[in-house]
């Protein structure tokens, strides 16, 4: 069960974080946070980690759900606020 090793999930989170720097857009960052969360679950151990380690599809579903939650939280916190529109008063060529 190599997928249940915590360091693999942390390595995936690091790789996705580096890709987010190279390809910005806050999309891969949600996946990186989801992978880090699954890595933390496996590092902490316990009943839930044992349940996840039993099946790769269940682990991938947990990764997807955690990634979606992370992306939605980032979208809520860092997203464009309502009524926040950039209005340009001057042009670069006006002097």
pLDDT in tens, 17-39: 999 999 877 789 999 999 999 99
- Segment holding 76, helix H or strand E: helix 56-78
Q: Is 17 left (phi over 0), alpha (psi -120 to 50) or beta?
A: alpha
Residue 85 has pLDDT above 80, yes or no: no
The alpha helices in the chain, defined as continuous H runs, are 6-22, 28-44, 47-53, 56-78
pLDDT of residue 1: 63
pLDDT tier for residue 2 given thresholds of 50, 70 and 90: confident
Q: Taking the model in full, what pTM does it have?
A: 0.78
**Mean pLDDT, residues 36-63:** 92
Tokens of 22: 């190279």
Q: What is the pLDDT of residues 37-49, one digit of tens each?
A: 999 999 998 998 9
**Mean pLDDT, residues 54-63:** 93
């Amino acid at each position: 069960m190599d997928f249940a090793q915590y360091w693999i999930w942390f390595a995936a989170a690091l790789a996705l974080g580096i890709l987010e720097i190279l390809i910005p857009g806050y999309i891969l960052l949600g996946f990186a946070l989801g992978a880090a969360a699954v890595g933390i679950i496996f590092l902490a151990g316990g009943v839930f980690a044992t349940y996840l380690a039993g099946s790769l599809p269940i682990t991938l579903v947990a990764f997807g759900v955690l990634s979606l939650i992370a992306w939605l939280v980032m979208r809520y916190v860092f997203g464009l606020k309502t009524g926040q529109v950039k209005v340009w008063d001057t042009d670069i060529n006006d002097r």
